[in-house]
Amino acid sequence: MSVLNKSAVSVPKSSIRRDVIRHRAALLDAATEVFAKDGIEAPLVEIARRAGVGRGTLYRHFPERIDLIVALLERNLDELEAQAADLADQPEGLLALIRTMINQDVDVAPLLDSDLIVPAPLLARFVAICRRPLEAARRAGVVRQDLDETDLLDLTVMAGSALRRWGLEERRVRAPRILALLLEGIRSDADGKSLDSDQPG
Indicate whether 41 belongs to any domain.
yes
Residue 110 sits in the same domain as residue 92: yes
Question: Is the domain of 77 the same as that of 172?
Answer: yes
Beta partners for 143?
Answer: 187
Determine contact, residues 118/160, Cβ cutoff 8 Å.
Answer: no
Indicate the pTM of the whole model.
0.81
Place 129 in a pLDDT band, splitting at 50, 70 and 90. very high
Cβ neighbours for 1, distance < 8 A, ≥ 6 positions apart: none
| Amino acid letter, 130 | C
- What CATH code is carried by the domain that includes residue 140? 1.10.357.10
Residue 32 has pLDDT above 80, yes or no: yes
The answer as to whether 196 is a domain residue is no
Nearest Cα neighbor of 155 from 191, 130, 121 is 130
Domain span at residue 114 reads 65-190
* pLDDT tens digits along 159-187: 988 998 898 899 999 999 999 999 999 99
* Domain identity same for 52 and 122: no
Distance between start and end Cα atoms, the chain: 84
Answer left, alpha or beta for residue 141, where phi above 0 means left and psi between -120 and 50 means alpha. left
The SS3 of residue 200 is coil
Instruction: Supply the pLDDT for residue 173.
Output: 94
Asked whether residue 4 carries a pLDDT value surpassing 50, the answer given is no
Distance set, CA 131 to CA 11, 103, 137, 146, 161 (Å): 45, 20, 10, 13, 23
More confident call, 162 vs 198: 162
Q: Where are the alpha helices (DSSP H) in the chain?
A: 2-9, 13-38, 44-51, 55-61, 65-87, 93-108, 120-139, 149-164, 168-186
- For the chain, what is the domain count? 2
Percentage of residues in the chain having pLDDT higher than 90: 67
pLDDT in tens, 10-19: 556 666 688 8
Provide mean pLDDT across the span 51-72: 95
Sign of the CA dihedral running 62, 65, 69, 72: positive
To the nearest 10 degrees (0 to 180), the angle between helices 120-139 and 65-87 is: 20
